[in-house]
Structure 1
């Protein structure tokens, strides 16, 4: 259903167009214009042989004896959830180390990603497990009990899909052996719109466990309002503004020393431009 509300002197005639062409209305069609101007499409269709898809750009036009108004355009997509294009991969980690799994799927609308261990939903109350919305699972301070089979589950209104399974093996580590800090995964370049939430990943390993800190390359303060740390070092910025644009530096610091490893990612925040009328 697509709404089209108009104010003006009656009578007002409302017509609908898809991709610039009139939408067929009437007997034998699936589209109806309700008395309030709303377009109703019954049994939304994807493309078939000899038939066109209902997906596309729609807008309405309202006309009375004084003239015509044309609305902005609304794009209607067909919901989909194809197969995963990135599956989690099996890995072996020393006890006390860090594990990271990732899966990715392109879907309309964006799929909700959850994780399972041995085909049971992972408890979000476990502080050592961090689930990032872009399909990433981080496990810090791994224990023998973390060993098992992991997979991610993608769900939207179109379907539910399961990724390939990945095995996590835990070896008896030697925690007393010094290991330099290493950033397993640093922040990626990210472009979002104002008022959205930005999440910059940073997960590091080493012995002793490195301390993760964040800064901006231009020296400006990151601030504290709307800032949260997810897990042991991922940076979340809520309700971003244009001032949040910049290059962010994740640093993994060895405690008590100046030894550090860094990774950079650029955050671009775009304005929320109003559509034309």
Structure 2
């Protein structure tokens, strides 16, 4: 009998297993899974090793396949289907769902000018590029691939025409984007290109980055002759060159972001030997975790007295302070008090309590003792006697 059962169990298998999928945000995604074996065979799905529950967007079809009706960034991950009958269960191969936030789009450029394609995915992946389904060689200083996936081509030639697609690769899989055609428009004559003032095609974006992350400040300019690209800060402070480098023809890379890197950066494209230039700004906001500058201290007060606890924190963005008593949030007591006392609120707080009464005072106005100590740091003191 045991031998027969082993033979039946071995018949439980997959005729179709899910494969790696690359899709655009919002598109429908189908992960195929078809199992065969002695009926009834049930199919369930797992994501990143955990059981996946059906919802409005996630449905298991009658044939066992998984349908994601409108893909979201949270759907990125690794999927497996689990087939099971009364004799056992089998688990499929892993399928990596990678969502393209940006696909390259077709472009038309003039011979000798600049071309740019962008590509971005939801997960962590290295982006490379293919031309006409072959790896794009990067042996020329005309071609640059930025860490964020942007492809830049300077001084385009007729040989650059064709179909481009990006390749997103990580340790688990490799997926390709849609193709985008680059069309090269010949010049009006066979003579030299006419002079053209500098024009910034893609300037730095307003971005936020955490400490020790890497950021890319792009600056892609065209003109004839080719413009010279330089960088400066709007506040005239020098740019910290430690950990910073220029990639390609003017893109600024900051490898390890620090707090003092925050600020507005100016990309300037200048025609060599002239005063013709173009400027594009971009703001870098460095996110700094909260740190406590002043911590509350233990106190002893007489009955019906007033205890004052101060808390100061700094960080970027400005931290929000929440108070707890014996592990319980005081938000409810705070809201009651604010409603009865004209609703003063503040990001930087102070707590007053006597006996079993606790109050969080948030945002005392200037009249109630708010003092700006320095950038991103305020101290608010509001003394309110409490009767018990």
TM-score, normalised via structure 1 length: 0.68
Kindly indicate whether the alpha-carbon contact (under 8 Å) linking 1:250 and 1:264 is maintained by their aligned counterparts in 2. yes
Aligned to 2:50, which of 28, 31, 45? 45
Over 3 Å counting, the alpha-carbon distance change for 1:124 and 1:273 in structure 2 is farther
Counterpart pick for 1:90 among 85, 98, 106: 106
- 1:40-74 deviations in Å (ceiling 9; x for gaps): xxx81241349xxxxxxxxxxxxxxxxxxxxxxxx
Instruction: Specify the alignment match of 1:228 in structure 2.
Output: 245
Counterpart of 1:145 in 2: which secondary structure? helix
2:257 to 237, 240, 249: 240
> Secondary structure of the equivalent of 1:84?
strand
Q: Say which SS state the counterpart of residue 97 (structure 2) adopts.
A: coil
Tell me, yes or no, if structure 1 residue 156 matches structure 2 residue 170: yes
The DSSP-based 3-state class of the residue aligned with 2:128 is: strand
Q: Secondary structure at 1:183's aligned position in 2? A: strand
1:163-242 equivalences in 2 (<5 Å): 163-173=177-187, 175-242=192-259
Is the 8 Å Cα contact of residues 219 and 267 (structure 2) preserved in structure 1?
yes
1:81/1:156 contact within 8 Å kept? no
Deviation at 1:153, TM superposition (A): 1.3
Correspondence 1:1-277 to 2 at 5 A: 44-49=49-54, 78-79=77-78, 81-107=97-123, 110-157=124-171, 159-173=173-187, 175-271=192-288
Change in 2 beyond 3 A, CA 1:46/1:139: farther
Q: Do the aligned residues in 2 keep the contact of 1:117 with 1:149 (CA within 8 Å)?
A: yes
The alpha carbon displacement at 1:157 in A equals: 4.8
Instruction: Answer whether contact 1:81 1:159 (CA < 8 A) is retained.
Output: no
Higher share of residues assigned helix:
2
RMSD of aligned alpha carbons: 2.6
User: Would the aligned equivalents of 2:240 and 2:261 in 1 still touch at CA under 8 Å?
Assistant: no
Q: TM-score, length-normalised on structure 2?
A: 0.49
Cα pair distance change 1:216/1:46, threshold 3 Å: farther
* Structure 2 CA distance for partners of 1:49 and 1:146, relative to 1, 3 Å: closer
**2:341 maps to which residue?**
none
Unaligned runs of at least 5 residues, structure 1? 1-42, 51-76
SS in 2 for 1:257: coil
The 3-state SS of whatever aligns with 2:105 is coil
**Higher alpha-carbon Rg:** 2
Are residues 195 and 170 of structure 1, via their aligned partners in 2, closer, same or farther at CA, if it must alter by over 3 Å?
A: same
Conserved? CA contact 2:243–2:254, under 8 Å: yes
Could you give the per-residue CA deviations for residues 125-182 of structure 1, whole angstroms, max 9, x where no partner exists? 3221111121210011112221111001123355432111111122333643121211
Residues 46 and 78 in structure 1, CA contact (< 8 A), matched pair in contact too: no
| CA distance in 2 between partners of 1:119 and 1:252 (Å) | 34
User: How many residue pairs were aligned?
Assistant: 207
Whole-angstrom CA distance in 2 between matches of 1:191 and 1:208: 34
Which residue of the partner structure matches residue 37 of structure 1? none
Q: Please identify runs of 4+ aligned residues in structure 1 that moved more than 6 A.
A: none
Quote how far apart the aligned CAs of 1:201 are. 0.3
> Any idea what SS the aligned residue of 1:261 has?
strand
Q: For 2:108 and 2:154, how far apart are their aligned partners in 1?
A: 13
Deviation of 1:264 (Å) = 0.7
CA contact (8 A) 2:77 2:98 kept: no
Distance in 1 of aligned mates of 2:54 and 2:221: 52
Task: Measure, in 1, the Cα distance between the counterparts of 2:120 and 2:201.
Answer: 18
